[in-house]
Structure 1
Amino acid sequence: MDVATFLTAFTGLFVIIDPIGTALIFNSMVPANDTRYINTMAIKATLISAILLVGFGLYGEPFLQHLGININSVRIAGGLLLFYTAFGMITHEVATPTESKKTDISVYPLSIPLIAGPGALTLVILLFAQASSVTSDLAVFAAIISVLLLNMLFMMLSKHLQRIIGHTGDEILRRFLGVILAALAVQFVYDGIKNLSSSF
């Protein structure tokens, strides 16, 4: 497996999905003592998100090419979108839902937009587009599954995570990850502009 590609993909996905932040939001949306419901929602949301991210990553680029959209244009647009997301992570307060009724929250808001949101979907297209071999594709796939499994584990343990990290710890982590995501976004824009300019 391509370790460098795996680490790049894992870091980018970890930053944008933010398993710790997602788990803290998840904790505010579920009944505190209903372990079966918590585990069911976490597993269901993880499966749905995996299908969305892998499917969109593998077939998003051919679909865009069918529409006549150059992948480097997607790199630039995706980089700008990721930068906007990063800017929000650094500067904005996150509104956490307070509803804790036992409804099916696996699709909305867990899978979309918390886990497989626009930023994550854009990122997987870019990661698979940059993968130049089967081993690189497998590395990106492994990174997606690893981050989602970690995210699922954090959601299942969200009650304990909330107690350990608290609101202040989540704020610090979110802003730190936002800076890393901003740097990744700038790199995507740079690569897209460089590739477009070299094709003329």
Structure 2
Amino acid sequence: MHDSLTFGLLCFTTFFTLMNPLGLVPVFITMTSTLDTEQKVTTARKATIAAMVTLIVFAFSGQLLFKFFGISADAFRVVGGIIFLFVGMDMLNARLTTTKITQSEVKSYVNDISITPLAIPMICGPGAITSSIVLMEDAHTLLRKCVLVGSIAVIGILTYIILVGATKISRLLGEVGNNVMMRLMGLIVMVIAVEFFFAGLTPFLQKIFIK
């Protein structure tokens, strides 16, 4: 039992750090600024559910999928970096708050941003996916597997609660505050994009130039 508790603590801290729900608040606020409260809650729910399902699926089948398709976690980092870069550019230019969403487009818009980029790669990024696969390799017992899945579920619920609470922050900031926040976060997201991109690209370059 003590061993499972230790493993559970490891899973919880790992996923909480990598998924970083508190760090998602400014991004979520800026990306959903054109939506009403109910639509923001729907977006948060879909994003967290999609992230949890993705992590659990990769935990149980990640190694098999990676081997079958011949892909690596570094490739995920490169793609994630590219997606982050475009999101950061939009935020830096304040395009997310100036985009007008008609009522007929709301459902499509919510579905789009809840899956990409909110669920993947912001909530469920390359690091979290890789960790779910690695931790599942260490889960040799059924209890450990249950602990791993439970940890993912707990972090998902916490992420949902935090994102739903972000709507109150949005009202306090107002339009000007949201625009300032968006531009600042745009710079940060672009820096993260560069880190992701080169962290994934470096191993490929080493294979090419270092033999």
The alignment's TM-score, normalised by the length of structure 1, stands at 0.63
> Equivalent of 1:175, from 168, 181, 187?
187
Alpha carbons 1:87, 1:178 under 8 Å: kept: yes
Map 1:102-117 onto structure 2 (within 5 A).
104=107, 108-117=111-120
Deviation, structure 1 residue 148:
6.0
Give the C-alpha shift of residue 156 in structure 1. Answer: 4.7
Aligned AA (1:51):
V
- Identical residues among aligned pairs (%): 13
Please state which structure has a larger fraction of its residues in helix: 2
**Aligned positions of 1:95-134 closer than 5 A:** 95-96=95-96, 97-99=99-101, 101=103, 104=107, 108-117=111-120, 120=124, 122-131=126-135, 133-134=138-139
Instruction: Give distance in 1, aligned partners of 2:117 and 2:51.
Output: 10
Q: C-alpha displacement at 1:168, in angstroms? A: 0.9
**Alpha-carbon distance between aligned partners in 1 of 2:59 and 2:53, rounded to the nearest angstrom:** 10
After TM superposition, give the deviation of residue 105 of structure 1 in Å: 5.5
Question: What SS does structure 2 have at the residue aligned with 1:27?
Answer: coil
Aligned pair 1:13/2:19, yes or no? Answer: yes
Instruction: Name the SS for the 1:112 alignment partner.
Output: helix
Whole-Å separation in 2 of the counterparts to 1:10 and 1:49: 13
2:48 maps to what in 1?
Answer: 46
CA shift, 1:133, in A, is: 2.0
SS at match of 1:127: helix
- Change in Cα spacing, 1:12 to 1:84, as seen in structure 2 (3 Å) is farther
Structure 1 pair 129–193 and aligned structure 2 pair: CA distance change class (3 A): farther
Q: Which residue of 1 aligns with 2:85?
A: 87
8 Å contact from structure 2 (residues 46, 115) kept in 1: no
Residue type matched to 1:108 in 2? N
Residues of 1 paired with 2:153 and 2:94: CA distance? 24
Runs of 5+ consecutive residues of structure 1 not aligned to the other structure: none
| Cα distance change on mapping 1:188 and 1:139 into 2, 3 Å | farther
Equivalent of residue 162 in structure 2, options 136, 142, 153 = 153
Alignment check: 8 A CA contact 1:10 1:147 kept: no
Asked if 1:27 is matched to 2:30, the reply is no
After superposition, the CA RMSD in angstroms is 4.2
Contact kept in structure 1, 2:48 and 2:156, CA below 8 Å: no
Q: State the match for 1:163 in structure 2.
A: 172
**So what's the TM-score if we normalise by structure 2?**
0.61
d(CA) in 1 for partners of 2:158, 2:171: 19
Q: Could you list the per-position Cα deviations for residues 70-118 of structure 1 after superposition, in whole angstroms to 9, with x for gaps in the alignment? A: xxx4123122213323433554536324326385469612432132235
Deviations 1:133-181 (A, max 9, x none): 2379957973675266335532354253253252112321332244245
Name the CA distance, whole Å, in 2 between partners of 1:137 and 1:180.
32
Q: Distance in 2 between matches of 1:136 and 1:174?
A: 37
The letter of the residue matching 2:133 is A
Q: Which amino acid aligns with 1:128?
A: S
Residue identity in the other structure for 1:175: L
